Amino acid sequence: MDYSKYNYAEQAQINTMMEQRQMDDFVNMFTGLVDRCFKECANDFTTKAVTGKERTCVNKCAERFLKHSELVSKRFGELSQQQAAFIDVLNQSPTLSL
């Protein structure tokens, strides 16, 4: 995104909003991870201690979740770049500007 058209205060506000959005996204991702792995792995409520089987399950679940999130983020970044390139092409065309 080109910030040059914004003054310093507007740029700071945009950066603050983007940082807040990133924090919200991180919290949502972490909450999803905890929820999914707890539901999948926490089975024995007869003891306070986490069993070895549950610990292994949580580790594998978290690893799968994070790998999936990484792949989704990578693909989203690729699509965003393609969209930005397409918009640039449209904006450079004398008959098809946005």
Give the residue extent of every domain in the chain.
Answer: 8-69
Q: Does 2 have pLDDT greater than 80?
A: no
- Identify which of 68, 67, 61 has the alpha carbon closest to the alpha carbon of residue 37: 61
* pLDDT of res. 92: 80
Q: Does 3 have pLDDT greater than 80?
A: no
Q: Does 97 have pLDDT greater than 60?
A: no
In terms of Cβ atoms closer than 10 Å to its own Cβ (0-12, 13-18, 19+), residue 64 is middle
Q: How many CA atoms are closer than 13 Å to the CA of 39, on its beta-carbon side?
A: 5
pTM of the model: 0.61
Please give the Cα distance from 30 to 36 (Å, whole number). Answer: 10
Q: Each residue of 7-66: pLDDT tens digit?
A: 889 889 989 999 999 999 999 989 999 999 999 999 889 988 999 999 999 999 999 999
Class of domain 8-69: mainly alpha
